[in-house]
A and B are shown apart, each in its own frame.
Chain A
């Protein structure tokens, strides 16, 4: 540590140092605590209460959670939403991240021309609002407009077309693929940046040994960017288990058809605010948010304690 700093800080009266820290840290800590941490805690606290017909709050302990997880009226939609959310996440992991990795691999090939143009175009959808993306795809896939059907017909696959967003069996996966289309830019950019950071000597060593681009990528580069792939996975997890906008703007709060595309975010919204079928219930809404918080927390902890620790060994 540089000498002047410790001298300055050491020679500063304690009160003045505290005032300085309060000035620098005060605004950030105050806003963050008041509008981020406190609401989280207050929401969890509210989840242990219930309201009666007069609007008074009564402490009920964990009863709301028991209701949510076991009472068929609540548990059926809850487990449906949780399962759908898992499917939504699986589609992202199986489609978005491999495509992102592959595109990053191609873009990081040495001497590739037009690199920044491709990068700019492929990242463009990520910048747009989920609402806009959802609606645009809604129109494109609509049988009324017939653009998707026409495109399939042009390549001789016209019979494959179905109103995917409207069918219970395909709505969720279609929505997940729309989300993949939009957000493939994130794994692409993060992995691309990690690939650029690999020391040239390692790649050169592979080339001297006569490896082609593909094998250099699979055997040298990919293992080195595993920590970034871990990071991408946890970002995908948090984003997916917190998703709401896409389903809400394409399918509405009821996440149709017949709740086939309901995920935890839309379930939370319906529980909290109510909809055509039920009244809003803040305490049960808080319970749903608390469960979502613990799901996300589990994911983050798993990442921190296992994935990142194990991957440190490969870090360079």
Chain B
């Protein structure tokens, strides 16, 4: 009994220590972003108090950068891409698993290349294409690339979900003479809702956090995403610690808030996707 207690205590100590290592740096940055410059350097580990509290960094970020625009751009790009990935991905997953036709396996294999091969390696040609078609420096360019990037894995994951839907459901609908398109949109699509969490983890996070494509495809302030905007702001104001910490915190906090709210769904989605 005593040995078990000691063992469990040891396990908790290790997990607490690692949690502190994971959380510490994030807390440190966020905490110091609310402090005056002297306090940032004088006592980095102390939380802000009434003497040291200051929002000067945040004020400067708002004044010196288009952080609102960046944020809106990221939101538009991420949500539109995710919507299209889910819609087109679900349709393709349904067609590939439900109707076996000549070449369907080959097509599934073709679509799965993108799971392992990063689309980034085609950047040279992507940039040329976007320039030629006049899409360069638009959010549309980013969305198209991100949809192409997100589709392979989401088709793979959604196919697993489609397979789990009981066959009786669609067969019943077919016996009633419901057309195939309506079977998908009215019977199958609503049942795929639990898959959204899983697909979201693999789609939203990489898109929101991506630096590469905004860096090569967008050149003006009006099309920068939050990741690129913050990166450029940080590079420019590297010596202004208040602003740097504030900009970092403004990029961290929304993600943390959404993560904490949805962590249960996100993690169950992640582990469900991992099972296969």
Which chain B residues lie closer than 8 Å to A194 at the CB level? 274-275
Which chain B residues lie closer than 8 Å to A129 at the CB level? 208-209, 211, 227, 230, 251, 255
Q: Do A140 and B88 touch across chains, with their CB atoms under 8 A apart?
A: no
Which chain A residues lie closer than 8 Å to B263 at the CB level? 120, 123
Q: Do A106 and B14 touch across chains, with their CB atoms under 8 A apart?
A: yes
Which chain B residues lie closer than 8 Å to A106 at the CB level? 11, 14-15
| Contact A32 to B29, CB < 8 A, known contacts A43-B125, A46-B124, A189-B270 | no
Roughly how many angstroms separate A282 CA and B126 CA in the complex, as a whole number? 12
Specify the main secondary structure of chain A where it touches its partner: helix
Nearest residue in A to B147 (C-beta to C-beta)?
Answer: A31
Q: What 0/1 readout, one digit per residue, does chain A (73-106) give for beta carbons within 8 Å of chain B?
A: 0000000000000000000000000000001001
Report if A8 contacts B (CB, 8 A). yes
Q: Which B residues, 234 to 257, have Cβ-Cβ distances below 8 Å to chain A?
A: 234-235, 241, 244-245, 248, 251-252, 255-256
Which chain B residues lie closer than 8 Å to A140 at the CB level? 25, 28-29
Q: What 0/1 readout, one digit per residue, does chain B (101-129) give for beta carbons within 8 Å of chain A?
A: 10000010011011011111111111011
Roughly how many angstroms separate A106 CA and B171 CA in the complex, as a whole number? 45
Report if A297 contacts B (CB, 8 A). yes
From A112, A127, A282, residue with most partner B Cβ within 10 Å: A127
- Total number of residue pairs linking A and B with CB closer than 8 Å: 262
Q: Do A4 and B126 touch across chains, with their CB atoms under 8 A apart?
A: no
Q: Do B151 and A43 touch across chains, with their CB atoms under 8 A apart?
A: no
Smallest CB–CB gap between A304 and chain B, Å?
9
Report if A23 contacts B (CB, 8 A). yes
Report if A249 contacts B (CB, 8 A). yes
Report if A69 contacts B (CB, 8 A). no
Smallest CB–CB gap between A118 and chain B, Å?
5
Which chain B residues lie closer than 8 Å to A292 at the CB level? 121
Q: What 0/1 readout, one digit per residue, does chain A (116-156) give for beta carbons within 8 Å of chain B?
A: 10111111110111111001110110000111001000000
Report if B98 contacts A (CB, 8 A). yes
Report if A37 contacts B (CB, 8 A). yes
Smallest CB–CB gap between B124 and chain A, Å?
5
Smallest CB–CB gap between B231 and chain A, Å?
5
Roughly how many angstroms separate A118 CA and B23 CA in the complex, as a whole number? 11
Smallest CB–CB gap between B200 and chain A, Å?
12
Contact partner of A118 among B15, B174, B208, B241, CB < 8 A?
A: B15
Q: Do A147 and B28 touch across chains, with their CB atoms under 8 A apart?
A: yes
Report if B191 contacts A (CB, 8 A). no
Which chain A residues lie closer than 8 Å to B126 at the CB level? 35, 39
Q: Do A28 and B88 touch across chains, with their CB atoms under 8 A apart?
A: yes
| Contact A24 to B91, CB < 8 A, known contacts A139-B245, A190-B274 | yes
Q: Which A residues, 8 to 38, have Cβ-Cβ distances below 8 Å to chain B?
A: 8-9, 17, 20-21, 23-25, 27-29, 31-32, 34-38
Q: What 0/1 readout, one digit per residue, does chain A (160-203) give for beta carbons within 8 Å of chain B?
A: 00000000000000000000010000000110111011000000
Q: Do A103 and B122 touch across chains, with their CB atoms under 8 A apart?
A: no
Q: Do B95 and A242 touch across chains, with their CB atoms under 8 A apart?
A: no
Roughly how many angstroms separate A34 CA and B145 CA in the complex, as a whole number? 9
Report if B267 contacts A (CB, 8 A). yes
Contact partner of A29 among B18, B111, B120, B272, CB < 8 A?
A: B111
Which chain A residues lie closer than 8 Å to B101 at the CB level? 17, 21
Nearest residue in B to A214 (C-beta to C-beta)?
Answer: B7
Contact partner of B23 among A27, A116, A121, A285, CB < 8 A?
A: A121
Q: Do A273 and B88 touch across chains, with their CB atoms under 8 A apart?
A: no
Roughly how many angstroms separate A276 CA and B252 CA in the complex, as a whole number? 31
Smallest CB–CB gap between A42 and chain B, Å?
4
Smallest CB–CB gap between B152 and chain A, Å?
7
Which chain A residues lie closer than 8 Å to B167 at the CB level? 2, 5
Report if A293 contacts B (CB, 8 A). yes
Report if B259 contacts A (CB, 8 A). yes
Report if A255 contacts B (CB, 8 A). no
Report if B41 contacts A (CB, 8 A). yes
Q: Do B29 and A136 touch across chains, with their CB atoms under 8 A apart?
A: yes
Contact partner of B149 among A36, A113, A150, CB < 8 A?
A: A36
Q: Do A245 and B148 touch across chains, with their CB atoms under 8 A apart?
A: no
Contact partner of B122 among A4, A36, A114, A128, CB < 8 A?
A: A36
Q: Do A29 and B92 touch across chains, with their CB atoms under 8 A apart?
A: yes
- Residues of A at the B interface (CB closer than 8 Å) are 2, 4-5, 8-9, 17, 20-21, 23-25, 27-29, 31-32, 34-40, 42-43, 46, 103, 106-107, 109, 112-114, 116, 118-125, 127-132, 135-137, 139-140, 145-147, 150, 181, 189-190, 192-194, 196-197, 213, 228, 234, 238, 242, 244-245, 248-249, 252, 272-273, 282, 285-286, 289-290, 292-293, 296-297, 300
- Residues of B at the A interface (CB closer than 8 Å) are 7-8, 11-12, 14-15, 18-19, 21-23, 25-26, 28-29, 40-41, 44-45, 84, 87-89, 91-92, 94-96, 98-99, 101, 107, 110-111, 113-114, 116-126, 128-129, 144-145, 147-149, 151-152, 155, 167, 170-171, 174-175, 180-181, 184, 205, 208-212, 215-216, 227, 230-231, 234-235, 241, 244-245, 248, 251-252, 255-256, 259-260, 263-264, 267, 270-272, 274-275
5 A/B residue pairs, CB under 8 Å, sorted by A: A28-B92, A31-B148, A39-B124, A118-B18, A122-B22
> Nearest 3 CB-CB pairs, A to B?
A39-B122, A42-B125, A35-B148
